[in-house]
Structure 1
């Protein structure tokens, strides 16, 4: 039976995955009410887990180093209970080759080499080039699906990833190019990045030393 994470873990983990977030986005990601989120943030700030930043147009919450450590401590404890067979680690190893392909696809979406400029920005005027990238992003979603299903069978918090990815891909296919790689919308790349972050956080892996 899939393990359902504790509300406190989900809220702290939401800050980790979102990086810098307001209360509304955090509540939505954690599946919590506005009141629950506000109460948690007050307590987490007193504990030194999160910090509030308000500077110019920035107004939101982020993890402190202590909060990141606490999040990983909670994740490690949860994994011992929910995943005694180390299924998540096995899935992560299968995810890595797909991740390398996603990085290449995102680069191809952003850069369209020309004879006079190897690193020219992709202005999306070459329909054939964009179609090839979209085909690869779609193929990656198909190959990701069974891995997400296995993850969800271990931890319920991985539910919804494919729905988000497919929704972003549909918009990209309709010509809304930002839905492949932008970070200010729930793009394919953002969904993928957050899944990757969730995996390495859950497994206690340092992204900087990742093989």
Structure 2
């Protein structure tokens, strides 16, 4: 996995500055949450880390390599969206294995890797199912599986539980954290939900109006908030 370092990151859209002077380091294997209200710049920051947006200023280093202006495909990062973006004409196994098929991996290797990933996510029994028949929680597991299967350096998640109901969200919070602990991944997780961030993250960056106002453990930001 990898350390992610952000140095003086800034992003402007015409006259609007979405992210202003962000600097922080996400250590290898850390579950790091970007927490803040809608429009605070957290998703823009995540998209810049992913290579889906290019910064106006600043640097992004992945495992010590400057990837600031590398396109997304060259960054070895997996992105999990709020809307699962599964392929409806493929079954669960085909969805999970699709990134490996695109890489030209041999069929038997794809099959082994898909089985291993499905076992980790407890969805082995669903591999031949159509994605349209699945519950929201199972669709989210498939989306996670598709991200995990190619073993990227880091996972970036943009409000991945936002489309689930409250009961499923609570369940998936625990499962996501358990999964993180098992695969020791570097994970960057965007949310506006304080409970999600507090229950899952090792460290939290509080964002407001494009700026990072505080970074610390859940206990630190709860006990000693740096701003209102």
Is TM more than 0.5 here? no
Greater fraction helix? 1
- TM-score, normalised with respect to structure 2: 0.27
**Relative contact order (C-alpha < 8 Å, sep 6+): which is higher?**
2
Which protein has the bigger strand share? Answer: 2
